[in-house]
Structures are given as structure tokens and as C-alpha cells.
């Protein structure tokens, strides 16, 4: 407090002191996840086994996360990453998808089953997850149940054997849909990679 007759001096904030942090979102349903056009990773006619990939996200209490944004990146059926053909040619296989989760915490992508991109990798899809409360996105992989190459995958070999099942999608009864569950915490928590 200033003595009577003294002017109060304005102090600039110290630029080295961090400001308070805040959580982000939820805003994905009105921004980057507002359209489901990015849910088609492979258009009809793209070579490969057509699949629907249903990703469902649960929080630590087992409740669906209704405002997450799920991004996918994958190779084509031959194991190659997508490369643009030309400026005027729309891609029929983008290798990328982005959807917001719905009220049941799920989103569903239309794609093809990827091929392995190298001899020491099993076919997989990389997942990046954004959601409220996360100041940094989470990254994981989706492998496919029954793929014999899982046993020789170099990245999966780094994961403790008892936790590898958290990275495996299971086929459903319709023969075309694969279900992948993301558990953010708790029992059977999904393995996330520090990238």
C-alpha cells in the first residue's frame, strides 16, 4: 500500500512466471469434428478388405466420453502411406480420418484393413485422441485380432504381454465391423505411447 501523496506505480507482470493453465474444450462437435466427412478414410473402390472401425472411448469410471475427437492414420492394403496423385485429383484413399464421439462415446470409420508397412510390423492403425481435460493428446495403435504378424511386431513387443490385448480390435458378428475400446484409466487401461 502506498503512503498518502505517493503515486501508485504500474508493475508489468514478470514474463518468466507461468500463467495458470486451463483445460481445453469441449468444442470438437462444433469445430474439427463437426462433419462426419472425415469418417471415410477409404472411398468405395479402393483396393483392399473394406471394414468399419468402431472406436469407443470410456473414462476412468467406465462412462462414455461424449466429446472426444478421434484421429486415425493408416497405410493402404499394400502397406504404403497415401501420397497425393495431383492437385485436381481428389484422393480416394486418404489414410486419415477424424470423427467426434457420440453420446455412447463411439465413432465409426469406413476404411480398408491396412497392410503391414515393414516386415517387423503387423498391420495397424495409429490413433490420436483429443478430449476435454487433456493438455496433450494421447497416441495409441490398433492391431487386428487373429493377425499372425502380431507376434513379431517390434513396437508391440515393447508392451508388457499382459497389456497387449488393450491394443487389439475385435471382429464383430457381421464380419465387416471391428470394435476397438479405449479405456483412459483403471482396469484394462489402454496402452498409450509417449511420442
The answer to whether residue 66 is domain-embedded is yes
- The length of the chain is 195
Rounded to an integer, what distance in angstroms lies between the CA atom of residue 179 and that of residue 194? 24
The answer to whether residue 76 is domain-embedded is yes
Per-residue pLDDT of 137-184, as tens digits, reads 999 999 999 999 999 999 999 999 999 999 999 999 998 999 999 999
Give the pLDDT score at 133: 76
The answer to whether residue 9 is domain-embedded is no
The answer to whether residue 78 is domain-embedded is yes
The answer to whether residue 16 is domain-embedded is no
The answer to whether residue 24 is domain-embedded is no
The strand pair at 177-183 and 124-130 is best described as unpaired
Cα dihedral 185, 188, 193, 194 sign: positive
Per-residue pLDDT of 11-53, as tens digits, reads 666 566 555 555 555 555 555 555 667 888 998 888 999 999 9
pTM of the model: 0.80
Tell me the CATH number at 60. Answer: 2.60.130.10
The answer to whether residue 77 is domain-embedded is yes
Average pLDDT, the chain: 84
The answer to whether residue 124 is domain-embedded is yes
Give the pLDDT score at 21: 55
Q: How many domains does the chain have?
A: 1
Cα dihedral 157, 158, 160, 163 sign: negative
| Structural domain containing residue 104 | 37-183
Per-residue pLDDT of 7-20, as tens digits, reads 666 666 656 655 55
Amino acid at each position: 500500500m502506498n503512503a498518502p501523496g505517493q503515486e501508485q506505480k504500474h508493475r508489468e507482470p514478470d514474463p518468466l512466471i507461468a500463467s495458470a493453465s486451463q483445460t481445453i474444450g469441449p468444442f470438437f462437435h462444433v469445430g474439427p469434428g463437426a462433419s462426419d466427412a472425415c469418417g471415410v478414410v477409404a472411398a468405395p473402390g479402393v483396393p483392399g478388405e473394406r471394414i468399419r472401425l468402431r472406436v469407443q472411448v470410456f473414462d476412468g469410471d467406465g462412462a462414455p466420453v461424449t466429446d472426444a475427437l478421434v484421429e486415425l492414420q493408416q497405410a493402404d492394403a499394400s502397406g504404403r502411406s497415401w501420397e497425393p496423385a495431383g492437385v485436381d485429383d481428389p484422393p480416394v484413399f486418404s489414410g486419415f480420418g477424424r470423427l467426434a464421439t457420440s453420446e455412447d462415446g463411439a465413432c465409426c470409420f469406413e476404411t480398408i484393413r491396412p497392410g503391414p508397412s515393414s516386415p517387423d510390423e503387423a498391420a495397424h492403425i495409429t490413433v490420436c485422441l483429443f478430449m476435454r481435460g487433456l493438455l496433450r493428446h494421447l497416441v495409441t495403435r490398433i492391431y487386428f485380432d487373429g493377425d499372425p504378424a502380431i507376434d513379431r511386431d517390434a513396437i508391440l513387443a515393447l508392451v508388457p504381454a499382459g497389456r497387449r490385448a488393450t491394443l487389439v480390435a475385435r471382429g464383430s458378428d457381421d464380419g465387416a465391423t471391428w470394435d476397438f475400446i479405449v479405456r483412459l484409466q483403471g482396469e484394462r487401461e489402454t496402452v498409450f505411447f509417449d511420442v
